[in-house]
Amino acid sequence: MLNNAKRVWVRDAEHGFLLGRISDIGTDNVTIELLSNNNKTLVTTYDSVYPAEEYDKDVPDNCALMYLNEATLLNNLRSRYKKNRIYTYVANILIAINPYEELYGIYSVETVKNYNGKSLGVMEPHVFAIGDKAYRDMRALRQSQSIIVSGESGAGKTESAKYILQYLTESYGTHSGQIEDRINKSNPLLEAFGNAKTTRNNNSSRFGKFIEIHFNEKHRVVGGYISHYLLEKSRICVQSKDERNYHIFYRLCAGAPESIRSALRLGSPDSFHYLNRGCTQYFCNAQSEKQLAQNRRSREFISKGPLHDPQLDDMNDFMECDKSMDHIGLTSQNKINIYSTVAAVLHLGNISFEDDPESTKGGCKITASTEQSLTITAEMLGLQVKELRMALITRVLMTKTSSSQNEKSIPVPLKAYESQGARDALAKALYVKLFDQIVNLVNKSIPFSSSVNYIGILDIAGFEYFPINSFEQFCINYCNEKLQQFFNERILKEEQTLYEKEGLGLKKISYIDNQDYLIEAKTTGAFDLLDEESKLPTPKPDHFTAEVHKRNKGHPRLDFPRKSKLRSNREIRDDEGFLIRHYAGGVVYSTEQFLEKNNDALHASLIVLIQECKNSFIKNLFADSPELAQTGKLNFISVGSKFRSQLTDLMNKLRNTGINFVRCIKPNIKMVPNLFEGGQILSQLQCSGMVSVLDLMQQGFPSRTQFSELYNMYKSYLPAELARLDPRLFCKALFKALNLKDADFKFGLTKVFFRPGKFAEFDQIMKSDPDNLAVLISKVKKWLLWTRWKKAQWCALSVIKLKNKIIYRRQCLIQIQKRVRMWRVYKQYAPRIRGLIKVKALHAQVASMEQIANQMKINKEQVVKQVQQLQQRVDELIGKITNTQMSSNQIENAYNDLFSAIDRELRSLKQILEQQKVKEEQDRLHRIQNELERERNKITDEDKRSVHESEDFKMRAKLAARQKEAEQLMGKLGTEESKMKERMLKEAEENKIREAIERRDYELAWRLGQETNSEVEPLQFLMRSRSKPVNSKFDLQKHSYAQLRDLINTSCDLELLDACREEFHRRLKVYHAWKSKNRKLKNGIERDDERAPKDIMDKAELTGMPMAAASKSNSSSQSKSDQINEQRYFRIPFRRPTDKNLEDNDQRKNGWWYAHFDNKWIARQMELHPDKPPVLLVAGVEDHNMCELSLDETGLANKKGAEILEKDFEQEWLKNGGKAYLHSHSGQISSKYVLQLMRHYR
């Protein structure tokens, strides 16, 4: 039964999934024998096990797999990754795994040409194919397109975006190439100023960018534009131990010519405060390491050597950055200004402060050792040393005097830590404004003419989680929440809505919706609360944190840090941070620096300093700055609000364009080639929504096109008489002629939908050689003739129907006229007519009295006379109403008197007649009994037949009574049952979502724990049992499946036997539910392997406690011994699941399904189909092929007409080759008999 040869995947934290075989099944858990670990066994839950395919098999599109689940998805990616096939489709979504090495040839000019104009699926999966699809969609739909490149830090998003950019500009650029050259050559410059080394990515983008490639009416590149979002400012001043600042600082120190280096007073990274607290090693190859001067090397570089990355080299990259500036048209002076500003930031960071003992107001001063840094910084920024000093150690307070309305400035000394904050704020403002200016210069350098449409490429920082997460991670993860929500809407929600609108009739797919996250909610959202706190006179981080918890108390996505799965996070106090359960898992944020990082404003002294700056370049950087507009006011500029506004604009752009998705995956945390860490890859796939996409695509149709577009695309390949067809008919004719399988496409109301890869096959057939097209055309013509003949038939039938409808309406007109005339008369004589109707109705009662009187045998004449008198009174009243003007009250009183007299007399006559009949019946029964007694000895055979008929009648009466009782009880419980079902389904869905969120929290914490060697709390829902043993006397949970079956077949203890059957069938139900969930599909159609009719299995899925209660109550009147021996038999129609796809009812093949239940469990099962031999199954031998449901769960006892007699079942059983079953055992199934059957079947 367990099919030990069949392999399955079992979930594993480290590898994602491991191969094994099912060795035993339980009610809650399943035992797996692992194949890769010396046959070690593992006990796990059913939802952690999936059926496996061939281990080394790989397909370019995961939708082509036989089993569509997360395990086969991961294994397919693993198999392709080993063969250096880093790209894989899931329908129209591309999964790209970062190889961490250069793969030669796959991005060459020749490869670019190979993908031009090719549909998805024609060529191997590639990022170029996504670029070409976006271009073709832009042309065909005349709509701008966007490509969202998403993934974690280090997954290769930036590189993927660069390759898409390369493809579009090389394939569809102009001959001069100036625009393409400027766009592509700007990348080194942007990466130098916006990328940095992190623990997870050597070239991590610390900002987001949306690159627009604009096209003219001829669909050629005519311009470009770059929008950027949320540069990580805090990195400018501080980095963690193993991370670096932005690349430009190190490249300037390592690669700048000696003249620039001396002019900017540069040294090694060790000599700068903003660099020496992080990693100070350079990226170098062997050659550049030799060329690097000794005085440019840091102590860490000397002791540990350089960092290695095939994409990075600080010395050579400085030259690339310098050339990039030349390409975008910067002059030598422009470049010097940029380098000088970068150096000024470094020197500014070297200025340190100490408390001034001579200050009476508790101020501070600049340390003597950093006076030179102050002088250098002032010189580079075009400031007076004195002015810079005062701006750093004091702030200006603006006040109004009582005698004057003019404002007066009062310098307020700052403490050492406040001056350090002012220094860092100025440094961050300088660098951010410089970065803004560089992006503006790049945009200005790109020639731009009139644009019709564009293709946008979004490359933004991926989801981030570190041991300590601050405001930057909060904003980045907020952005990723919005993008994931957009993905859910566009791919999952809108896709299913489209299927529903087009009438495809596909079931809905559930997924974890993240619309209820609490970051941007009005008044209670974290952003609004942060801005609200920042505007208070004395804002405090702990008060902000407390408000977040208070305003969102009970929110399912918010919790305290101590609830984190990562034990190290539990040291954070409740007022020091909060945990948000993102779509990717729970992340703990430390709020200590949220207020500071959310304020983008400089204090007044620094603003005045910038306004009086003599360096025109620096002054221009802040020309349009909102900080300068707020001089003298309470300075607060919300970084969060600004970012929210930018993100809203971006999301509006995305919603107004067609969308393509590239999901980038990081294969390992060590960032090395040829290492596939399945556990953390699986977590990324789940977080990116790819598992939900698999469920959707399992029955989905990702490729679709309008009928008119398909018509315009291929009409040129067909002759004129076919090209004139209606677009919808044209498409139908093509598909019928091509013999396309019905499962490969579906017709909607306005579109035709294709399964993954099928549109490409269709396209290839259509563009084949002329000989094939000639055959195709003849098939189309033949199909059209057949279709038109069918239409002519239907037209004739419709005309006949119309004629009959006209005749019918004419008859209805006559009826209407008759009714109107009648109504007019009725209105005039209404009171008397109503009286006559009521009185005439008494004739029927008088007539019934006459019939009763005629049956009388005693006092018949007297009774007849009384009836005649009543009849006379009725006639007199009718005559009176007809001939005289009686009022309504008079008619009513007369009627009531007469009615009472007739009713009284009628009841009396009925009573007398009933007594007469009882006496006659007693006499008749007495005579029959005497006659039967005399004849009993003469006709023994007839008597036996009569007894059998009587028993049949009683059984049928019993069945009818039981059915009626069940119907009455179900009618009473109907409402309660539906509410119970709804509640149970809701609870099951909530539990499913809760477990999925808990699993994601655990997986995210586990990945972070792997990096930091921290402990992770195990998953709780995997630890607890989901059900308890039904029978407390016998603990059968530890028995294996085989042991339970042996006990059922050999035990004579009825109580133990009942407990074993209960446990046995509970395990079967769970196992079959797992198989059904992970069943193999053929072209998205369910297989014909049902163990019972589909409506029975569907009923069981919805069966709740009320149904079980009804069934139990239905049999509560029986004794316990009767219930043990009760044998019941049922018969219902059996229709195949695949028959629902057949339009013609005549083609649907129906069979019969027979079931024999021994008490509550099935004992025998028989299937009779018209086109195959009968299938006879016996419990104890073929349990795995039989219905595992109890009688209560099937609902058969409540199904009208389903229950049959024992003899009806036995007759069919024996007729179809079954063995006699119960006759030798007095109605009780014996274990001896089952053992004999097992030997017979074996």
Q: Which of 902, 932, 962 is the last residue of a domain?
A: 932
Binding-site residues from annotation for ATP: 151-158
Comparing 1146 with 443, which gets the higher pLDDT? 443
Distance (Å, whole) CA 800 – CA 804: 6
Same domain, 1102 and 1234: yes
Tens of pLDDT, residue by residue over 870-879, are: 888 888 888 8
Q: Is there a domain that residue 1168 lies in?
A: yes
Is 405 among the domain residues? no
Q: Within 10 Å of residue 1083's Cβ, how many Cβ atoms?
A: 10
Q: What is the pLDDT of residue 364?
A: 92
| Stated pTM of the model | 0.70
Count up the domains in the chain and report the number: 4
| 1000 and 868 both lie in a single domain | no
Strands of the sheet containing 49-51, edge to edge, are 41-45, 29-34, 16-25, 7-12, 49-51
Report pLDDT digits (tens) over 473-524. Answer: 898 888 888 888 888 888 777 777 777 888 877 766 666 666 656 677 788 8
Same domain, 921 and 789: no
- Does residue 1206 form part of some domain? yes
Q: Can you give the CATH number for the domain in which 585 is found?
A: 1.20.58.530
Domain end: 968, 983, 1017, which one? Answer: 1017
Please provide the average confidence, as pLDDT, over all residues in the chain.
81
Residue 250 pLDDT exceeds 90: yes
> What pLDDT is recorded for position 852?
82
Please, is 973 exposed, middle or buried when counting C-beta atoms within 10 Å of its C-beta (0-12, 13-18, 19+)?
middle
pLDDT value of residue 634: 45
Q: How far apart are CA 1057 and CA 885, in angstroms?
A: 86
Mean pLDDT of the region 175-193: 82
What does the pLDDT average to over 854-859?
Answer: 79
Please report, rounded to a whole number, the percentage of residues in the chain having pLDDT higher than 90.
27
Q: Look at residue 406 in the predicted model and tell me its pLDDT.
A: 63
Domain boundary among 932, 961, 976: 932
CA distances from 611 to 377, 619, 631 (A): 16, 7, 10
1099 inside domain: yes
Residues 996 and 896 in one domain: no
181 versus 546: the higher-pLDDT residue is 546
The answer on 992 and 907 residing in a single domain is: no
488 lies in the same domain as 585: yes
Q: Looking at per-residue confidence, does 512 or 322 come out higher?
A: 322
Residues spanned by the domain of 1209: 1079-1241
Q: Do β-strands 49-51 and 7-12 pair in parallel, antiparallel, or remain unpaired?
A: antiparallel
Q: Say if residue 768 is in the same domain as residue 715.
A: yes
Phi, psi of 600 (to 5 degrees): -95, 10
- Residue 209's DSSP bridge partners are 228, 459
- Which region among 221-230, 1093-1102, 1118-1127 has the lowest average model confidence (pLDDT)? 1118-1127
Task: Give dist(CA 1206, CA 885) in Å, integer.
Answer: 71
Residue 462 C-alpha from the chain's centroid: 20
Instruction: Tell me what the mean pLDDT of segment 1055-1060 comes to.
Output: 78
Run of H or E including 400: strand 394-400
What's the pLDDT score for residue 457? 95
Q: What is the pLDDT of residue 757?
A: 57
Instruction: Please check whether residues 1129 and 1229 belong to one and the same domain.
Output: yes
pLDDT (tens digit per residue) in 1203-1218: 888 888 988 999 888 8
Identify whether 274 is part of a domain: no
Q: Are residues 1012 and 868 in the same domain?
A: no
Least confident among 32-41, 778-787, 1107-1116: 1107-1116
Statement to judge: residues 1088 and 1219 lie in one domain: yes
pLDDT tens-digit series, residues 840-856 = 888 888 888 888 888 88
Taking only the tens place, the pLDDT of each residue in 967-1024 is 666 666 666 666 777 777 777 777 777 777 777 777 777 777 777 777 777 665 555 4
Write out the binding residues: 151-158
User: Bridge partners of 397?
Assistant: 410
Question: What is the model's pLDDT at position 1136?
Answer: 56
pLDDT at residue 659 greater than cutoff 70 = yes
Q: How many CB atoms lie within 10 A of CB 762?
A: 22
Decide if 441 contacts 431 (C-beta within 8 A). no
Quick check: is 1140 in a domain? yes
| In a shared domain, residues 887 and 1002 | no
Average pLDDT over residues 116-125: 87
User: Which of 254-263, 1167-1176, 1182-1191 is predicted most confidently?
Assistant: 254-263
Query: Are residue 1091 and residue 1233 in the same domain, yes or no?
Result: yes
- Burial code (b: 16+ CB inside 10 Å, e: under 16) for 319-351 equals ebbbebbebbebeeeeeebbbbbbbbbbbbbbb
Q: What is the pLDDT of residues 19-41, one digit of tens each?
A: 998 888 887 788 888 887 777 88
* Selected residue with higher pLDDT from 367 and 788: 367
Q: What's residue 1106's pLDDT?
A: 37
Closest by Cα among 663, 565, 690, 685 to 999:
565
Query: Residue 466, Cβ neighbours under 10 Å: how many?
Result: 17
Q: CA 358, CA 365: separation in Å to the nearest integer? A: 10
Whether 758 is covered by a domain: the verdict is: yes
Does the residue 42 lie in any domain? no
pLDDT of residue 660: 92
